[in-house]
Amino acid sequence: MIKTAFIGLGYRGRQLYGLLQHIRGFRIVAFADPGVEEDAVAGIPCYQRGEEDYRRMLAEQKPQLVFVASPWHCHVRHALHCMECGADVALEIKGGLYIDEYRPLIACAARTGRRIYPLENTLFMRENLAIYNMVQAGLLGEIVYMRGGYRHDLRRLLLDDDGTLGNREKTESVWRSRFYQEENGDLYPTHGLAPLCLFAGIGRTDRIKCLTSFASKPAGLRQRIKDLGGDSSVKIALGDVVVTQLETENGVLLTLTHDTTLPRPRSLDFEVQGTKGIWQGDRRLIYVEGSSPEETWEPDESYINRYEHRYWRQWGQEAVEVDAHHGGMDYVMLKALEEDIRGGEPYPVTVDDLALWTSVTPWSKVSIAERKTVFM
């Protein structure tokens, strides 16, 4: 079994821990989180004597794999120390707080021989993996345009019931809200961008050449604060909607949208368009020239079934049974990680991919602040 530890036992850490209870290959030996009680998980030690106690955990427990599910600004230093202690790292998504943030991680992984597994769950959605197979098979032709985003109303997370920003104790609201007050850019590009890069080979056979970002005014969060009776004059830097246009060296155009402070249902806003067809993820519709009725959308389910990815053929049934919250994609992601560690099929992405996806955040901030296209 894989001797496994956690740094961070908040909302996301607990989700992942719960799913690992259904996968026999992982043995959880310890947690480190200064914000929880010592007996937070029955029968498993929790190192919680301050923010550096994870170092004691690593020294005493010597795990093979560490899940880093700490706040965004802690990811790099936590992952670096894990690798220096001889552990591979399953790294929760986000980061990209500044340009070249992940360069030390890439260098450390190369020097130590340790692995970093980016935990971007949207890569493992059933539909996305099937679309990847369709693109590989040429069903949609040559890819020309793609769209994705993180469109998820987070006002309830960011604000307490009295309209105070960052005041929900012991939640990510405490640290995540600071980014909304201090930065203006695409704070969370990975959910939308990672699958698009997988589809079109960006980071392998193609690369992002430039981007231009635009931000709306920050009206939504301020309106909710006012409605709840809070101080609507509080500083808010992030526009409600941030749109980023990207262009690759091979001439593929991409649109990313960050939209988290206006009322709306959750959406990843996926669209993939090529010379032979188009897929719209939210609507679960597809049009394939020569196969679909003329200029008529079809439900995509028959195509998803036909191009079902091996991961979902193998683990799909158990995934949807134990991972209701995210429709099975987290479970499939963890099974793919386990398979890689055990010497099977390699995990589909690396820390180099993570560095690419997250670089959109600092470059989008530059583009908005300086009103210019940024060449990457």
pLDDT-above-70 percentage for the chain: 99
DSSP string, 302-337: HHHHHT--HHHHHHHHHHHHH-TTTTTHHHHHHHHH
Helices 11-20 and 329-341, packing angle to 10 deg: 60
In the prediction, which pLDDT does 94 show?
81
Contact 311, 319 (CB under 8 A): no
Name the strand (E) or helix (H) holding 23.
none
Contact 143, 205 (CB under 8 A): no
In the prediction, which pLDDT does 38 show?
80
Tell me: pLDDT of 96 over 90: no
Tell me: pLDDT of 39 over 90: no
In the prediction, which pLDDT does 124 show?
98
Tell me: pLDDT of 47 over 90: yes
In the prediction, which pLDDT does 60 show?
98
In the prediction, which pLDDT does 189 show?
97
In the prediction, which pLDDT does 226 show?
97
Could you tell me which CATH number the domain at 123-329+346-375 has? 3.30.360.10
In the prediction, which pLDDT does 325 show?
85
Q: Please, what is the average pLDDT of the chain? A: 96
Confidence band for 324, pLDDT divided at 50, 70 and 90 = confident
Tell me: pLDDT of 171 over 90: no
pLDDT-above-90 percentage for the chain: 93
The two tokens of residue 98 are: 């500044």
Confidence band for 169, pLDDT divided at 50, 70 and 90 = confident
Q: Is 289 helix (H, G, I), strand (E, B) or coil?
A: coil
* pLDDT average, residue stretch 70-79: 95
Q: Which of 267, 260, 211, 223 is nearest to 239 (CA)?
A: 260
* pLDDT average, residue stretch 280-287: 98
* pLDDT average, residue stretch 56-82: 97
Could you tell me which CATH number the domain at 2-119 has? 3.40.50.720
Q: Which of 81, 74, 65, 58 is nearest to 20 (CA)?
A: 65
Beta strand 88-92 pairing with 116-119: parallel
* pLDDT average, residue stretch 30-43: 90
Q: Do domains 2-119 and 123-329+346-375 have the same CATH topology?
A: no
- How many whole angstroms separate alpha carbon 326 and alpha carbon 321? 11
- How many whole angstroms separate alpha carbon 173 and alpha carbon 175? 6
Strand order in the sheet with 253-259: 298-299, 285-288, 277-280, 271-274, 143-151, 253-259, 241-248, 208-215, 374-375
Tell me: pLDDT of 19 over 90: yes
Tell me: pLDDT of 222 over 90: yes
* Residue 171: C-alpha distances to residues 9, 119, 176, 330 (Å): 11, 20, 9, 21
Question: Cα 170 vs. chain centroid, distance in angstroms?
Answer: 22
In the prediction, which pLDDT does 37 show?
85
Q: Which of 46, 59, 38 is nearest to 6 (CA)?
A: 46
Tell me: pLDDT of 335 over 90: yes
Tell me: pLDDT of 95 over 80: no
Q: In the chain, what are the domain boundaries? A: 2-119, 123-329+346-375
pTM of the complete model: 0.96
Classify residue 36 as left (phi > 0), alpha (psi -120 to 50) or beta.
beta
In tens, the pLDDT along 185-202 reads: 999 999 999 999 999 999
* pLDDT average, residue stretch 92-111: 90
E-strand stretches of the chain? 2-7, 26-32, 46-47, 65-68, 88-92, 116-119, 143-151, 208-215, 241-248, 253-259, 271-274, 277-280, 285-288, 298-299, 374-375
Confidence band for 6, pLDDT divided at 50, 70 and 90 = very high
* Residue 155: C-alpha distances to residues 137, 176, 231 (Å): 41, 12, 15
The single-letter code of the amino acid at 112 is T
* pLDDT average, residue stretch 18-26: 96
